[in-house]
Structure 1
Amino acid sequence: MEVAWLEDFLAVVAHGGFSRAAENRNITQPALSRRIRSLEDWVGTPLFHRTTHTVELTAAGESFQVTAEETLRRLASGRDEAREVAQGHAELLRFAATNALSLTFFPAWLRRVEATLPFNINVQMVANHMEICERMMIQGQSQFLLCHHYPAASTLLAPAQFRSVHIGDDMLVPVSAPDGNGRPLHTLPGRADAPVAYVAYRPESGMGRIVAAALETALPPTHLKPTFTSHLAKLLVTMALDGRGLGWSPQSLVAEHLERGELVRAGDAGWDIPMEIHLYRSRARQSAVAEKFWSHVAGGAPTA
């Protein structure tokens, strides 16, 4: 069995088919199919149901996915730890963070935590949208993930493989540019015959998942007409400032705009979406310094 076969298998799962997975892996589709067949021969059972138009995991494939992800994560973690020790960087901590939190929350939180740490750390940070951050965690490229959490929103980080600690709180608030009288240009909830202009998060965004879940499970009915879509919360704030539509934005990003009157609320507090800020890690063993850092944070280090 080759490690590349596991990466091929997970690529097919992630991309929902062989064509896009082959493109992602930079190999031909026939070559990818042969490698998946070889993996299935090694496992001893089919891992995918194949039809003309769809590829779905078998029950055995769903079970094997957990093993494949955990194996690659442990290999990546072990390799990186060995390299860091060899290079004298054993204190390195690798973080992934969603774009908004990397700007608004992470620097001050890390400073507070470091003020109480009894050891020194070297921090490496990668910021991106939620889905890429989740993939980095699944593949073992990051030891920790800083992200927003909302109970009804989906995540790729299975509780059996990952755990998290609540380290802060945030709020998504509906905002709009004001008209000449200081009232919102765009207001909730909109009407069926006149949906309100809306700047929306893309589905791969963590906050996109949270807003979608809140609209489905917690907020009153709305009539929204998307006019702009992005995974970047800061860009959506810029579009809201430009009057393109209302949007739900992290309070930490728009507080100053609201104070200056550049943005106003597009709905009362009943439209707010409360979120928690969580720090995630794999349940598998981490490097010695990562384990010490986690114990310190989970044991009651400063939160927001």
Structure 2
Amino acid sequence: MEIRWLEDFIVLARERHFSRAADAQNVTQPTFSRRIKLLEEEMGTTLINRQTLPLSLTPAGEEFLALCEQITERVRLTRDRLQSIATDEARRILLAAPQSLVSNFLPGWLDQHALTPAISPYLRATSWLIGDYLHGLERGECDLALLYWPRGRIALDLEMSELKYLSLGEERLVPVSAPDAEGRPRFSLPGARRQPQPLIAFHPRGLMAAALEAHLGRQPGPVYLTTLNESVQATNIRELVVQGYGLGWLPRRSVITPMANGELVRAGDERWDVPLDLRLYARKDSRHPGLPGLWQQLEATYSNA
């Protein structure tokens, strides 16, 4: 049984005439009559008294009419609600960010600025590299990109001329290790030439790896590391470090709890910390209707911070 059959029956009950009802439904009379007949066969009883002029409903038809009106009204309300949801979703601004920012920064930031109704995290982006975020903005796959950004000088082969950004705050990459039985780091910096420290590293084509490499290059002495594993996501690095496979640099926000409960300890003092900015990027020519107002709001907030 199709919804349009129920709608046909409601129109026929109102018009009490097959030809006028068929016209109202924009179908030929034979097609309309066939659909009413199929409806009666489906229900297993006669719904229309065809012997009267104008047509009338049988007692079963009167009962069935009430049901048709209830069902079609529920369908109409549901359709309207679904269209409203689709419209709201189309208006929402998609924000792409690394998994560690989605977990440890974004929820509080959205609440702080009352942006939860307007912005949705684009979860497909949590394992992207820096180039993927820029391409995602260019393609319109996402509207905003929230990224860690190196504070020191770093060579980046990236085309950024079509982008604008706001600085939302600061972060640091902190070197951490699992503790030994005495609570000291199992692996510590700077290591030794004959005993390099095992490193659980960020992906070599990622921005974090480039920031760390530049920072280590500015240190006065050498550091001795051997890479055991590389990952895009800080969560994966943290898991391997907690299990004692090596040391790793992780965003400070992501290790506050593991360090507080003793799962992780520092693998080096603060000179090994890598300073980062938190930057929110958008395209200058973004066509999302809600983005200009949001950007203006955030710009006013952070320019006065």
TM-score of the aligned structures, taking structure 2 as reference length = 0.65
Query: Is this contact kept in 1: 2:186–2:244, CA < 8 A?
Result: yes
Query: Unpaired segments of 5 or more residues in structure 2?
Result: 1-82
- 1:102: Cα distance to partner? 1.0
Aligned to 1:176: 177
Identity rate of aligned residues, in percent? 27
Question: For each residue in 1:18-67, what CA deviation from the matched residue of structure 2 results, as whole angstroms up to 9, or x when unmatched?
Answer: xxxxxxxxxxxxxxxxxxxxxxxxxxxxxxxxxxxxxxxxxxxxxxxxxx
Q: Secondary structure at the match of 1:288?
A: coil
Distance in 2, matches of 1:162 and 1:191, equals: 43
Q: Which residue of 2 aligns with 1:149?
A: 149
Q: Please report how far the alpha carbon of residue 233 of structure 1 lies from its aligned counterpart in structure 2 after TM superposition.
A: 0.6
Give 1 or 2 for the bigger CA radius of gyration. Answer: 2
Which residue in the other structure is 2:266 paired with?
Answer: 265
Matched residues in 2 for 1:224 and 1:185: separation?
A: 14
1:125 and 2:126 are equivalent in the alignment: no
Structure 1 residue 108 corresponds to structure 2 residue 108: yes
What corresponds to 1:298 in structure 2?
299
1:260 CA displacement: 1.4
**Number of aligned residues:** 218
90-99 vs 236-245, greater mean Cα deviation: 90-99
Report the Cα distance in structure 2 between the residues aligned to 1:293 and 1:260, rounded to whole angstroms: 39
> CA 1:282/1:159 → structure 2, altered by over 3 Å: closer, same or farther?
same
- Whole-angstrom CA distance in 2 between matches of 1:181 and 1:273: 27
- In the TM superposition, what is the alpha-carbon distance from 1:143 to its structure 2 partner? 1.2
Q: 8 Å contact 2:97–2:121 — kept in the other structure?
A: no
8 Å CA contact 2:177–2:267 kept in 1: the answer is yes
Partner of 1:92: 92
Shift of 1:285: 4.1
CA gap 1:275/1:178 in 2 versus in 1, 3 angstroms: same
User: Which residue of 2 is the match for residue 42 of structure 1?
Assistant: none
Q: 1:135 to 1:159 in 2, by over 3 A?
A: closer
Partner residue, 1:277: 278
- Contact 2:146/2:281 (CA < 8 Å) preserved in 1? yes
Deviation per CA, 1:95-145, whole angstroms, max 9, x where unpaired? 111121111111110111116x9xx52535233323322321232211110
Q: 1:220-239 counterparts in 2 under 5 A? A: 220-239=221-240
Structure 1 residue aligned with 2:159 = 158
8 Å Cα contact 1:99-1:129 kept in structure 2: no
Equivalent residue number for residue 249 of structure 1:
250
Give the drift of 1:274.
1.3
Aligned pairs for 1:199-218 within 5 A? 199-217=200-218
Distance 2:172 2:261 in 1: 19
> TM-score normalised to the size of structure 1?
0.65
**More divergent stretch after superposition (148-157 vs 273-282):** 148-157
CA RMSD of aligned residues (A): 2.8
How much does 1:273 deviate?
0.9
Distance 2:303 2:253 in 1: 18
Aligned residue type for 1:164: Y
Deviation track 1:196-245 (CA, whole Å, cap 9, x = no partner) reads 11111112333222212222345742110111221111111111111111
